[in-house]
Amino acid sequence: MQTIDLRGVTCPTNFVMAKLELEDIEAGTTVEFLLDDGEPVKNVPRSLKDDGHKLLGLKEQDGYYTLLLEKGAD
Amino acid sequence: MAEQKIDLRNLKAGGFIKERGKDLFTVRLRVPGGRLSVDRLAKIAAVAQKYGKGYVHLSVRQSIELINVNFADFDAVVAELGEEQQKVASCGARVRVPTACGGCEYNPNGLVDTQKSALEVDEKLFGTATGHHKFKVCFAGCPFDCPKSAINDVGFQGAVWPSLDADACIGCGLCAKSCTEGALAMADGKPVFDAKKCIYCGDCIKVCPTSAWSAAKKGYTVRIGGKWGRRPLIGTLYATFVPEERVVDFIAAVLAWYQEKAEGAGRVRLGDIIIREGWQSLLNHLSRDFADFVVAETTAPQVIVNQIPLPGQA
Ligand code: HEM
Ligand code: HEM
Ligand code: SF4
Ligand code: SF4
Ligand code: SF4
């Protein structure tokens, strides 16, 4: 599974980077994003849901978060 | 009497404010909710170019103000603005143009249609004489409260009451992570809701991947009695989840109380009348028609200590 590391990237750059990465991925594929605590973990999942992707889960480890997501159809 | 050069009816409603210079006035325009079409904006620019100073001022309450307009040009200014349905705003002891944040069609935080509410209040209540002092209303789309509802005579703030369908929950924990108020905590893989901490922002509903959270109620949180200026007051909570379609009636009920209770008080804002009469009086008055929405109790408007004059200053 592809992992996209967005740690250290602030809002809204992290969301725009996530969008760009998802452009090259086929619908139905599962990917994970690494997100910082704070604004990123609050904002990025919600914005990706708004864009039509399916959120599958969120896990915390060592102070950051892993968001599991299935790419939606365009 | 000398022949009249201008139509005095245009002046009656206000919106023409005397400037320093001889014969010069500021013309304040009516822009409810701060939204205007680009065509109207272009017309305003053309009028400002022709009759004004070459600049405009954006007022704190979302009006565009034309600067340095000669009073002899009032009629022409009103007529030319009218070509794009642009009206002049009001001043004085009246219901002012309502302000509102951008609107939920494009702002991802918005929970209610603040633009629609602002237009409705502008249409039905703008210019209503209070008999006492100015009366300001604003609409915020969500608890971020960009329009600052608590410093208006009546301030509205969009709100939703979240309700959980536990069967639809996949236990991802996103809602608990999203809730900045600490109203949600995960226990045994499901969120536990602490109603005492919830501020009705709807972030949990927006983030939930399976729509396990939904809005059981939607409407406005209402604060009353705020103002800014020389002696600021912070408005306090009177009602929750007031439906959008009851907003005009609600304001009218507050106005009726103000008009009656401020009788003889002179130029006094609503918040100061509430302090004088006691919040119970206004709450009782509102519970007649809005029993389903008013809170059980509130507090007097909060006085803001602005530290001037300096203590000890003679
Ligand atoms: C796409 C996302 C967002 C948009 C388009 C947006 C837009 C705006 C705009 C236009 C205002 C100014 C409103 C006005 O004064 O007329 C504002 C104010 C504000 N925003 Fe945002 N915002 C966004 C996200 C956020 C986020 C994520 C936060 C905080 C976590 C936030 C917190 C605030 C606060 C607190 C204010 C009021 C500030 C004040 O005047 O005291 N906004 N926002
Ligand atoms: C010739 C007289 C006056 C003019 C031209 C004037 C003009 C204005 C203007 C342009 C604003 C800002 C509106 C906006 O940003 O949209 C304002 C706000 C305000 N004015 Fe005046 N004003 C006058 C007299 C007064 C007086 C006598 C008082 C109080 C006794 C007063 C109290 C306030 C307050 C409290 C605010 C802002 C805060 C609020 O609305 O709660 N003004 N005024
Ligand atoms: S009050 Fe809420 S909806 Fe309105 S502009 Fe601010 S964040 Fe957006
Ligand atoms: S509505 Fe806002 S404050 Fe209330 S539980 Fe949901 S996220 Fe928390
Ligand atoms: S976001 Fe939705 S699915 Fe995830 S834990 Fe909360 S209620 Fe359950």
Rg of chain B in Å (alpha carbons): 23
pLDDT in tens, A4-62: 999 999 999 999 999 999 999 999 999 999 999 999 999 999 999 999 999 999 999 89
Classify the complex by whether its ipTM is higher than 0.95, answering yes or no.
Answer: no
What is the rounded average pLDDT for all residues in chain A? Answer: 94
Residue B30 and residue B13: Cα distance in Å, rounded? 12
Residue carrying the six token digits 């935080």: B109
- What residue spans define the domains of chain B? 8-82, 99-160+218-303, 163-199+207-213
Assess whether pLDDT exceeds 90 at residue B53.
no
More confident residue, B119 or B12: B119
Q: Decide which of 3.30.413.10, 3.10.20.30, 3.40.1280.10, 3.30.450.70 is the CATH code for B99-160+218-303.
A: 3.30.413.10
Q: Decide which of 3.30.70.3340, 3.40.50.150, 2.40.50.1070, 3.50.50.60 is the CATH code for B8-82.
A: 3.30.70.3340
The stretch B189-201 carries a mean pLDDT of: 97
Ligand 1 pocket (Cβ < 6 Å) reads A 43; B 101-102, 107-108, 144, 146
Asked if the peptide bond before residue A12 counts as cis, ω within 30 degrees of 0, the response is: yes
Closest CA to B251 of B281, B223, B292, B279: B223
Assess whether pLDDT exceeds 50 at residue B207.
yes
- What residue spans define the domains of chain A? 2-70
End-to-end CA separation in angstroms for chain B? 50
Angle at which helices B38-51 and B74-82 cross, to 10°: 160
CA B126 vs. chain centroid, Å, equals 12
**CATH class of the B163-199+207-213 domain in this structure:** alpha beta
Residue B89 and residue B91: Cα distance in Å, rounded? 7
The DSSP result for chain A, as a single string, is -EEEE-TT--TTHHHHHHHHHHHTS-TT-EEEEEEETTHHHHHHHHHHHHTTPEEEEEEEETTEEEEEEEPPP-
Q: Is the CB of B161 under 6 A from ligand 2?
A: no
Q: Do A70 and B182 touch, CB atoms closer than 8 A?
A: no
Which fold does the domain A2-70 belong to in CATH?
Translation Initiation Factor IF3 (3.30.110)
pLDDT, position B1:
46
Q: Report CB contact under 8 Å: B206, A56.
A: no
Q: Is the CB of B306 under 6 A from ligand 5?
A: no
* Residues of A whose CB is below 8 A from B170: 56-57
Q: How many CB atoms lie within 10 A of CB B156?
A: 31
Residue B3: band (very low, low, confident or very high) from pLDDT cuts 50, 70, 90: low
Q: Which residue has its alpha carbon closest to ligand 4 atom 4?
A: B198
The stretch B267-286 carries a mean pLDDT of: 97
Q: Which residues of B199-218 are buried (b: 16+ CB within 10 A; e: fewer)?
A: ebbbbbbbbbbbebbbeeeb
Residue A64: band (very low, low, confident or very high) from pLDDT cuts 50, 70, 90: very high
